[in-house]
Structure 1
């Protein structure tokens, strides 16, 4: 199974989606996003990986996801089953999704 690849100018589409959530509901949102990925998203053509991060202050959840192409990502957005799962997350939080390219990485 493919895994998350962080490499400059990799030929894939990277989604960074930041959810803002009430801290009392952060865990619920994490579970919804994790469940949607396990049940639906990972089976869509072009899916590579999804990584769900919870902020330590409880106010944010970040989804760092990768797709084989922008078309594959858009097909997921257009899929009614995927949209159903996304609406569950949207009911709990505001969100700000953007597609990125990796421009540089640094290691010690």
Structure 2
């Protein structure tokens, strides 16, 4: 079972699920024991295949830290917090979290794009 740790202790993923915003990007950092890396990727793959079928899902990408690090970064784009909340709270998805290795720790957080003059658009 994956263990949850807040990326921002002041505003947990549970609190974020109550915000009305969209589109949003889920940023999720994973750490795992070196021996469990393959199991982490397989569990994430099964979750990603399930999430792809959910309303509001746009895309996802998994990244591995360079070198010998056993840290991973996932980002997923959703139409809205409401769509992500529905998928994330689904009992089928919650039950699938038991497939992660016990050494896995995840730190999920939702973000919105912002506009910065002469740099990027919202």
Compared CA separation, residues 85 and 32, structure 1 to 2 (3 A): same
**CA separation in 2, counterparts of 1:24 and 1:82?**
24
Report if the CA contact (8 A) 2:39-2:101 is conserved: no
Give the RMSD, CA atoms, in angstroms.
Answer: 1.9
**CA separation in 2, counterparts of 1:66 and 1:60?**
20
- Runs (5+) with no aligned partner, structure 1: 1-10
**CA separation in 2, counterparts of 1:26 and 1:48?**
26
- Runs (5+) with no aligned partner, structure 2: 1-21
**CA separation in 1, counterparts of 2:47 and 2:111?**
22
Report if the CA contact (8 A) 1:14-1:67 is conserved: yes
For 1:49-95, what per-residue CA distance to the aligned partner results, in whole angstroms no more than 9, with x for missing partners? 11111123232111101111000011011101111223323634011
TM-score (norm 1): 0.76
Report if the CA contact (8 A) 1:22-1:58 is conserved: no
What does 1:60-75 correspond to in 2, within 5 Å?
Answer: 60-75=71-86
Residue 102 of structure 1 deviates from its aligned partner by: 2.8
**Larger Rg over CA atoms:** 2
